[in-house]
Amino acid sequence: MTKQIIIASISLVLFSVAMPAMAASTFTGTLSTGVQTGISGVLVVSPTALPVAGTYDSAQSVKLSASGASSIHYFLNTTDLNDALTCSTGSVYDSSTPIQMTGSGLIRAIACYGSHASPIASFTYVINTSSTPAPSSGGGGGGSVTPPATTNPLIGDINGDGKVDILDFNALLVQWGMTGSNLTADLDNNGKVDILDFNILIIHWTS
């Protein structure tokens, strides 16, 4: 009897080691895969954005999509991340009218599948539209004047040490919530230091 218990215990241990880890998934409604799996439900996915979030030299028209969703709701440049984004709040995305990002900003969006909402997806865009003035022609000798070379400052480098790191993060925290002009941590130049500036700093973080 003792040997049988020991053998059974060893078999259970070997069986548990051989079994692969299983990941849980949540479905709602009806899922059709073309294969008889015994699982029913609708896969709820967060929206995606094109072009992808990042830094651009010109304004961008952002298109949102979510496979199978009945609608997409979004907030644009909402600084309070506690604002509730649900299938009955925010702006309803119209696929025929992309979101125009003419300046730096943050898009937060969810996909709605009936009464079920996806997790929130966030997309941060940094728009740098500054341009270098054209050089003026030289007088007298008829030759052209070459403008002096300029070095573009590193975006997010608040303390000017040539990299975006923890020191810049500390500088941003010191100025957090401040409003006005000439704020070094106001990276999007909107007159206040907030979550949008934090997002810009993280995007340009020096690895």
pLDDT at 157: 84
- Which domains are seen in the chain, by residue range? 48-127 (2.60.40), 166-203 (no CATH)
pLDDT tens-digit readout, 106-157: 999 999 998 899 999 999 999 987 755 555 555 555 556 666 555 556 788 8
Cβ–Cβ < 8 Å for 146, 183: no
Per-residue confidence (pLDDT) for residue 16, from 0 to 100: 45
Residue 168 tokens, joined: 């810049």
Q: What is the pTM of this model?
A: 0.52
Stretches in the chain below the pLDDT threshold 50? 5-26, 30-37
pLDDT of amino acid 19: 43
pLDDT score, position 185: 85
Buried b (16+ CB within 10 A) or exposed e, 150-168: eeeeebbbbeeeeebbeeb
pLDDT score at 135: 58
pLDDT of amino acid 64? 96
pLDDT for 117 equals 94
pLDDT at 37: 47
